[in-house]
Amino acid sequence: MTKSQQMSDLKTEIVLCKKCPLFQSRKNAIPGIGSYHSKIFMIGEAPGKQEDEEKKPFIGRSGTILAQWLSSIHLLRKDIYITNIVKCHPPNNRDPSSLEISTCFAYLIRQLTIIQPSLILTLGRHAAKALFSLCSLPFTSLQNHHGKLYSITLSYGTVRLIPLFHPATLCYRPSMKKILYSDMQKVAKHIH
Ligand code: URA
Ligand code: SF4
| H, E, C per residue of the chain | CCHHHHHHHHHHHHHHCCCCHHHHCCCCCCCCEECCCCCEEEEECCCCHHHHHHCCCCCCHHHHHHHHHHHHCCCCHHHEEEEECCCCCCHHHCCCCHHHHHHHHHHHHHHHHHHCCCEEEEECHHHHHHHHHHCCCCCCCHHHHCCCCEEEEECCEEEEEEEECCCCHHHHCHHHHHHHHHHHHHHHHCCC
- Separation between Cα atoms, residue 52 and residue 26, nearest integer Å: 7
Average pLDDT over every residue of 22-39: 96
The predicted pLDDT at position 77 comes to 87
Amino acid identity, residue 97?
A: S
pLDDT at 88 over 70: yes
Amino acid identity, residue 95?
A: D
Condensed to tens digits (0 to 9), the pLDDT of residues 131-154 reads 999 999 999 999 999 999 999 999
Task: Report whether residue 51 contacts ligand 1, using a CB cutoff of 6 Å.
Answer: yes
Check: pTM over 0.85? Answer yes or no.
Answer: yes
- Please measure the distance between the N-terminal and C-terminal CA atoms of the chain and give it in whole angstroms: 31
Q: pLDDT band for 78, please (50, 70, 90 cuts).
A: confident
Distance 44 CA to ligand 1 centre (A): 6
Average pLDDT, the chain: 96
Shortest-distance ligand to the CA of residue 100: 2
Starting at the earlier edge strand, list the strands of the sheet with 150-154. Answer: 33-34, 80-84, 40-44, 119-123, 157-164, 150-154
Task: Report whether residue 85 contacts ligand 2, using a CB cutoff of 6 Å.
Answer: no
pLDDT at 122 over 80: yes
pLDDT at 192 over 90: no
Distance 48 CA to ligand 1 centre (A): 6
